Amino acid sequence: MSAACADVEEPSDDDDSYVTTGVNGSTSSGETGGTASTGAWGHNGSGGEGGGSSSHGPYPIVLAHGFFGFEEFAGVEFATYFYQVKQYLADNGETQIFTPAVDPFNDSATRGAQLEAHIESILAETGADKVVVIGHSQGGLDARVVAHDRPELIAAVLTVATPHGGSPVSDIALGITENDAASDIIDNLVNLIGSAIYDEVGDETSVTDALYQFSTPGIAEFNATYPDAPGIFYASMTGRTDYHLGGQACVPDFHLAYIDSLKTVEDPTEALFVISEAIIDGSDDSPNDGLVRVEDAKHGEFWGCVPADHTDEIGQIFGDNPGFGNSFDHKQLFLELVRELRRRGF
């Protein structure tokens, strides 16, 4: 399916009306239930500070992985975090897609610095001025760190199931790992396992630092430290599971036709998320993807929810079907996300 090109009115250099910022979906470019897209998976809506008229846009796309993430699992080329997404995008004309690896377990200050270094290398390699980052889970927080610290490197940040508002699961987990001795044991175990199965693991990997960042106090500190940068476009979307259709929580600021086409499709809870989904439901019966509540995933212009759990969103585990009767296709989702970004000039 080829990308549809459309003319987009570009904002002036001093016009920030298209910059969408803020946790929980605060936005300056769309109303709740706002602009509808058109055509076959068509696209229509406000744009950002992109540029150029190429159907594939001027900016390389960086896919930023989340917690426990990797570029290649155990050195196996086909076993990628964004399962087969890079190849699928290439098959549809998107050849400048990068999937850098950062520490699988660490806070986003550390991972963000690593991502920044990768982005600098990507810009040097491609000759581009900026990149667009699509971050899944913690990868979205890493992208926000880079956007805050080095805004000149980033054109847009699109987050997928990123816990901008934290996760109740981390609060529970920190109750188990609340003392230094337990934290050290867990960190050492993760480093030992990580060294064996990841192709890029930092020396100071810390699962407890990552868990703290997702906790209620940790995410409050993060959001205060890394406010959004003017001139960068921010958008978000997420998943919903446990047969939840999302209700009002999933009403988007901007309608992407592919996401809208799935609004009556349900996703059964997989065994991996039965406990975490129950933890979230126990504290707040709101739609979630098994790890992140929809409301906590909103940041900037909200593009809605897909019937997928936290791993379905990226095609894991290794292409596992999202569930009986669920027609969601993670590769098509990423293609449509990229197409919309391109349509807006990014």
Q: For residue 63, what are the β-bridge partners?
A: 134
Report pLDDT for 139: 97
Report pLDDT for 203: 52
> Across the beta sheet with 301-307, what order do the strands follow?
97-98, 61-64, 131-136, 154-160, 233-240, 301-307
Report pLDDT for 69: 54
Distance CA 44, CA 252 (A): 13
Distance CA 299, CA 311 (A): 20
CA angle 317, 66, 125 (to 5 degrees): 110
Residues, the chain: 346
**CATH architecture of the domain with residue range 61-343:** 3-Layer(aba) Sandwich (3.40)
Identify the segments of the chain with pLDDT beneath 70.
1-57, 68-79, 176-205, 281-284, 318-320, 323-324
Secondary structure of residue 332 in the 3-state scheme = helix
Is the preceding omega at residue 317 within 30 degrees of 0, hence cis?
A: yes
Task: Let me know: does 172 contact 99? Beta carbons within 8 Å.
Answer: no
Distance CA 324, CA 215 (A): 33
The residue type found at 255 is H
By CB atoms closer than 10 A (0-12, 13-18, 19+), residue 327 is exposed
Report pLDDT for 180: 53
The residue type found at 121 is S
Secondary structure of residue 99 in the 3-state scheme = coil
Hey, how many other C-beta atoms are within 10 angstroms of the C-beta on 29?
Answer: 22
Decide: pTM greater than 0.85: no
The four Cα atoms 52, 300, 236, 345 give a dihedral, to 10 degrees, of -10
Residue with tokens 């929980």: 24
Task: At 237, give phi and psi (nearest 5°).
Answer: -155, 170
Report pLDDT for 187: 52
Strands (E), the chain: 61-64, 97-98, 131-136, 154-160, 233-240, 301-307
DSSP class per residue in 53-97 = --TT-SS-EEEE--TT--SSBTTBTT--SSTTHHHHHHHTT---E
Report pLDDT for 16: 38
